[in-house]
């Protein structure tokens, strides 16, 4: 079974959210399906998008697992973003928590090198 994922981050300011997402996700394919949404394609059939939904802004939480945890964090730092918090689980998995300007939480999980 094929599954596409579209994870939404509701926001109050679309251009601010796009700038923040570009810094977090880096140089990935992106598109704008309409005047109120912006989509980043992180991998085949896996998308994160921001949508102008002021009443819902700041309440989203999503976690992405990456194969190169340290590399992702280093690249985000080069683009000016550092995690607001980090967690380490008993099994060795690390999770870096990023919060967009509206307070939505994007967790990046993985195992450090």
pLDDT at 64: 97
Residues 40, 24: contact at Cβ < 8 Å?
no
Residue 11 dihedral angles phi and psi, to the nearest 5°: -135, 165
Q: Which residues pair with 85 in a beta bridge?
A: 97
* Continuous H helices in the chain: 14-25, 69-78
Q: Which residues pair with 110 in a beta bridge?
A: 94
Range of the domain at 13: 5-110
CATH code at position 36:
3.10.180.10
Domain count of the fold of the chain: 1
pLDDT at 113: 76
Tens digit of pLDDT per residue, the chain (113 long)? 889 999 999 999 999 999 999 999 999 999 999 999 999 999 999 999 999 999 999 999 999 999 999 999 999 999 999 999 999 999 999 999 999 999 999 999 999 87
pTM comes to 0.93
């Amino acid at each position: 079974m094929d599954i596409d994922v579209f994870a939404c981050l509701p926001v109050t300011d679309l251009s601010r959210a796009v700038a923040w997402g570009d810094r977090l996700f880096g140089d990935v394919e992106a598109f704008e399906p309409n005047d109120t949404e912006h989509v980043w394609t992180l991998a085949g059939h896996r998308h994160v998008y921001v949508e102008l939904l002021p009443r819902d802004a700041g309440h989203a939480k999503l976690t992405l697992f990456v194969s190169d945890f340290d590399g992702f964090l280093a690249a985000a730092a080069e683009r000016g973003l550092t995690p607001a918090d980090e967690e380490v689980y008993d099994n060795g998995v690390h999770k870096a928590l990023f919060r967009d300007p509206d307070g939505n939480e994007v967790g990046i999980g993985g195992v450090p090198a």
